[in-house]
Amino acid sequence: MASAGSKEGSGDGIAELARRRGFLWLAFEIYGGAAGFYDYGPLGALLKRRVEEAWRNFYLKEGFYEIETTNIAPREIFEASGHLESFTDRAVVCKHCKSFFRVSEGVDVREKCPECGGELENAGEFNLMFQTRIGVPKGGRDEGAQKKSEGYLRPETAQGIFLNFQRLLRFNRDKLPFGVIQIGKAYRNEISPRKSLIRLREFTMAEAEVFVDPGEKSNHPRFEEIKDRKLWFVPSEGEEGEKSIEEAVRSGIIANEYLGYHIAKVEEFLGRIGIPQDKLRFRQHRQDEMAHYARDCWDAEFFSERYGWMEIVGVADRGDYDLSSHASHSNTDMGVHGKLQVREGEAEKTKAKIIPHVIEPSYGIDRIIYALLESSLYEEQVGKEKRKVLRFKNEIAPIIAAVFPLLNRDELKSKAKEVFQQLRDASIFVEYDDSGSIGRRYRRQDEIGTPYCITIDYETLEDDTVTIRERDTMEQVRVPIAEIKEALFAQYHMD
RNA sequence: GCGGCAAUAGUCUAGCGGUAGGACACGGGCUUCCCAAGCCUGUAACCCGGGUUCGAAUCCCGGUUGCCGCACCA
């Protein structure tokens, strides 16, 4: 019998398994690789696709619509968004202790090293955005024309949504609040990408932008539904601990109901795809670590056995920063007619135009994939053997089921292939395997997280029933072939 | 970016100046009526570029990648 199963101590094993079984490969490997770039192999791509699909459906159910915007944008977009200024920086380095300082942090090359008092030298300019050229620059060496043709790969997907705000508002028939989502690549030329999928130069983000009347932020229509959920909060000031969302909002730890609601939704989604709740906490940014656009920000952090606490989702209150900035830079009206603000005794009934505020849950999909891989891997002692199991939730498992003939005999093989094809034809993504012993084949599937194995034996040939073996319990049930599809579908979509 | 350590089949590793070996995995065959069994058999590797040497996987230099620490992470 299986023991309860233990976690791998360091989390090292998952990197090896992910490489070997085709989840995750270092990009450009045959040319020596490049730091910060990973490719998803066949199983990794399936897993990622299922996570993205789960995320998409989750927010579509909230009534949000998805859009898809460009990865490259002209310079002026990032002048307006503030990324050009915040992402480009001059740096100095200490000749003596090699400490590295950003000029914007107030350390100048004429000064002495704050660490050791050594002499400083210029370390050059660095820009976290990848720069490119759009079209053929006109005007030769003319600086203005050169700048005009500058383009950048987006460092977040959000801007594409802000840029389309007017259109989106119109699409939503001029009513607030509404939400828009986008899943896509973002690019940051990190100084030292490291730690597997945790810091990449090209990565996938899933972002939701919720536009709300600032006067309504403290009043989310569905707050009731989530208010009693308990989460672990680490506020920037004061004690950390478990609190209900309602407590957190009432006591001012979380600034408003909208932020509280979306923090709760983040927790709900992560739980749904299988991130264990006891490895999650919500940590508030300190003032000095906040992004330039944020007025408040909470990170959902996952506790990695290997790397410690790491951010996997950020929920930011961006205020009106982005819309106001794009409004003034592009000379576009981003205002919305708010609700009537009629004060008692006043005759005035003009609808004031307001700039909506933005609440933004921003998911790092690759980091979530890492968290899922690491937290799903269990090693169990089964008899004398160790069994490695990826306990993925059914909803995200790359492969739903595998079909085996019990023995490597023609009559069983042809029946098994028949069942396999039947399931594939029914759009159920199954694998077929007849190599090695049945136990070996079960283990292969355990290691890639396949929830069910369907085995064709001699009884099948007599009465058209098969066994379905469940991954975590290793228990089997016998079901008629005609009912496999229903049995799998019921399981697959339920949990 | 800085410093330390490392890099050998798909994976883990032995070899540390002279024929690259093992284990697991994988393929083929036999066996096997349900959990990595056994037997036979096969495929498969010295990160890249220079240097030293009669001879380099091994020593030296540079690069790349990975791990750890510092810095960075809007």
Question: How much is the ipTM here?
Answer: 0.93
Over residues A154-202, the pLDDT tens digits come to: 999 999 999 999 999 999 999 999 999 999 999 999 888 888 888 999 9
Share of chain A above pLDDT 70, in %: 85
Output the distance from A31 CA to B17 C1' rounded to whole Å: 29
Share of chain A above pLDDT 90, in %: 69
What local confidence, expressed as pLDDT, does residue A4 receive?
37
Output the distance from A58 CA to B31 C1' rounded to whole Å: 51
Stronger pLDDT, A352 or A196, i.e. the higher one: A196
Output the distance from A31 CA to B59 C1' rounded to whole Å: 26
**Of A317, A310, A316, A228, nearest to A275 (Cα)?**
A310
State yes or no: pLDDT of A351 exceeds 90: no
Output the distance from A118 CA to B72 C1' rounded to whole Å: 20
Say which nucleotide is closest to residue A311, CA to C1' distance. Answer: B73
Residue nearest to nucleotide B36 (CA to C1'): A440
Nucleotides of B under 7 A from a protein CB: 1-3, 10-12, 25-28, 31-37, 47-48, 63-74
Q: How many CB atoms lie within 10 A of CB A431?
A: 19
As given in the structure block, the two tokens for residue A299 are 């990170």
Over residues A18-58, the pLDDT tens digits come to: 999 999 999 998 888 889 999 999 999 999 999 999 999 99
Over residues A372-427, the pLDDT tens digits come to: 999 999 998 887 788 999 999 999 999 999 999 999 999 999 999 999 999 999 98
What pTM value is reported for the model? 0.92
Say which nucleotide is closest to residue A306, CA to C1' distance. Answer: B67
Output the distance from A33 CA to B63 C1' rounded to whole Å: 12
Residue nearest to nucleotide B25 (CA to C1'): A20
> DSSP letters of A206-267?
EEEEEEE-GGGTT--TTHHHHTT-EEEEE-SSS--EEEEHHHHHHTTSS--HHHHHHHHHHH
What local confidence, expressed as pLDDT, does residue A305 receive?
87
State yes or no: pLDDT of A253 exceeds 60: yes
3 state SS of A99:
coil
As given in the structure block, the two tokens for residue A233 are 């909060």
Residue nearest to nucleotide B28 (CA to C1'): A435
As given in the structure block, the two tokens for residue A159 are 């801007």
Sign for the pseudo-dihedral over CA of A58, A59, A62, A66: negative
Say which nucleotide is closest to residue A196, CA to C1' distance. Answer: B66
Sorting pLDDT into bands at 50, 70 and 90, what band is A3?
Answer: very low
Stronger pLDDT, A4 or A132, i.e. the higher one: A132
Residue A132's φ and ψ, nearest 5 degrees, are: -145, 180
Output the distance from A151 CA to B9 C1' rounded to whole Å: 45
What local confidence, expressed as pLDDT, does residue A382 receive?
83
Alpha helices per DSSP H over A149-202: 158-163, 165-171
Q: Which of A69-73, A78-82, A101-105, A412-416 has the lowest mean pLDDT?
A: A101-105
CA A352 to chain centroid, in Å, comes to 37
Over residues A57-76, the pLDDT tens digits come to: 999 999 999 999 999 999 99
Say which nucleotide is closest to residue A460, CA to C1' distance. Answer: B33
